[in-house]
Amino acid sequence: MTPDTTLESSAEFQFVCPACRGSLKTHDESYECASCNRHFPVLFGIPDFRLRSDRYLSLEQERLKATRLAQSGLDFAAMLDLYYDITDDVPPELAQVYKSYHQNGPVQASHSIHQLALSTQDYYLDAGCGTGGSLLAAADSGARLVGVDIALRWLVIAKQRLQEQGIDATLVCADIESPPFKNGQFSKIAATDLLENVYDVNRSLQVLSALLDTKGRLWLAGCNQYCIGPHPSTRLWAIGYLPGPLRKRVTTFFRGVDSLRYINLIDPCSLIKAGRKLRLDLAFVAPKKVATHQLDSYPKLDQILIRLYAWLAIKPLVKQLLILIGPAFEMILFKTEGEPNRNPLFHKDTQ
């Protein structure tokens, strides 16, 4: 498959209607539900199955922004710069950090790809794929690669990035809470920094569990609400401990905008408990591993803090503490038929 093809080109995959789960009819530039008659366009070679937009832009605003990016004729790096130039609610000091995050995506994602042990037998879904870093990292695995994101603007950038690298992957614009995929279609799913940005964390976990096959494995990673240092989304120290109204005032005062207004503050313990209710058991949980050899694009203070964190995260006693109060965490959950582990945080396989 090329980045312009859809899953319908594979007999093993079929899209379903995200609204009623009915079958879809394929047209030249759209899909149509045979049951509820909804139409879903294909924009810039990317099928758009959204029933709603993300919380930052309306569908119309979002498609206009995606169009501007798609018609820019820029390469990946320049398109990423353009994105932040035309996004006025991201302060410049955070824009630099966010761009570094996307640029270093493949390096950071290589760790999760290794932990998931992707093979040619796998159907891999990157849920909340953003600019496609994880898909690039998985390119040599031989797995069938699918990236889904609710933001068409990110997928336009991801498509450019994948094309530049010659990577075969399928990009789908959809809300993970209403996916256009049949249940059990994926053997491995990664959701890095996804749950902070969804409408409903529990609903998203339910869907991710349903999309996994019976032996599927789910990678989750995200920022920890109870980080005592600078929260990765705001660079403000211990911001997750503040009650909502005060947190909003503090963030707005220091950043000029409440950059957490649409962010779900999550923590590893809560996610593990939620997973248990869905019969998702814990394979491991750890402080999120970070790559330290491509930090030049980060601010100097961030470089120091990242290297300090990476050093602390390999110390046995400190590692356990960082799961609770560190800036970010990672875990793998897997489907189980039996009773999930009842003391999951310090699981025997914790790395």
CATH assignment of the domain containing 48: 3.40.50.150
For residue 202, the one-letter residue type is: N
Residue 82 falls inside a structural domain: yes
Distances (CA, A) of 227 to 109, 247, 324: 22, 14, 8
The per-residue pLDDT for range 298-314, each reduced to its tens digit, is: 778 878 888 999 999 99
Q: Averaged over 53-66, what is the pLDDT?
A: 95
Q: For residue 347, what pLDDT is reported?
A: 43
Residue 233 falls inside a structural domain: no
Residue 247 falls inside a structural domain: no
Whether the per-residue pLDDT at 3 is higher than 50: the answer is: no
**Cα dihedral across residues 110, 115, 118, 123: positive or negative:** negative
Whether the per-residue pLDDT at 236 is higher than 80: the answer is: yes
Domain range for 65 is 7-224+266-335
d(CA 306, CA 178): 36
Residue 127 falls inside a structural domain: yes
Residue 200 falls inside a structural domain: yes
Burial 205-233 (b: 16+ CB within 10 A, else e): bebbbebbeeebbbbbbbbbbbbbbbbbb
Which DSSP category does 265 fall into?
A: P
Domain count, the chain: 1
Angle value at C-alpha 276, between 271 and 278, nearest 5 degrees: 100
Residues 6+ apart with CB under 8 A from 73: none
Whether the per-residue pLDDT at 199 is higher than 90: the answer is: yes
Residue 305 falls inside a structural domain: yes
Q: For residue 153, what pLDDT is reported?
A: 98
Whether the per-residue pLDDT at 130 is higher than 60: the answer is: yes
Distances (CA, A) of 51 to 129, 176, 249: 18, 11, 32
Contact 328, 222 (CB under 8 A): yes
Residue 239 falls inside a structural domain: no
Residue 260 falls inside a structural domain: no
Among the residue ranges 102-111, 206-215, 334-343, the one predicted with the least confidence is 334-343
Q: For residue 278, what pLDDT is reported?
A: 96
For residue 33, the one-letter residue type is: C
Lookup result for tokens 């800036």: 327
Q: Averaged over 211-222, what is the pLDDT?
A: 96
Whether the per-residue pLDDT at 75 is higher than 90: the answer is: yes
* Whole-prediction pTM: 0.90
Length of the chain: 351
Q: Averaged over 246-262, what is the pLDDT?
A: 94
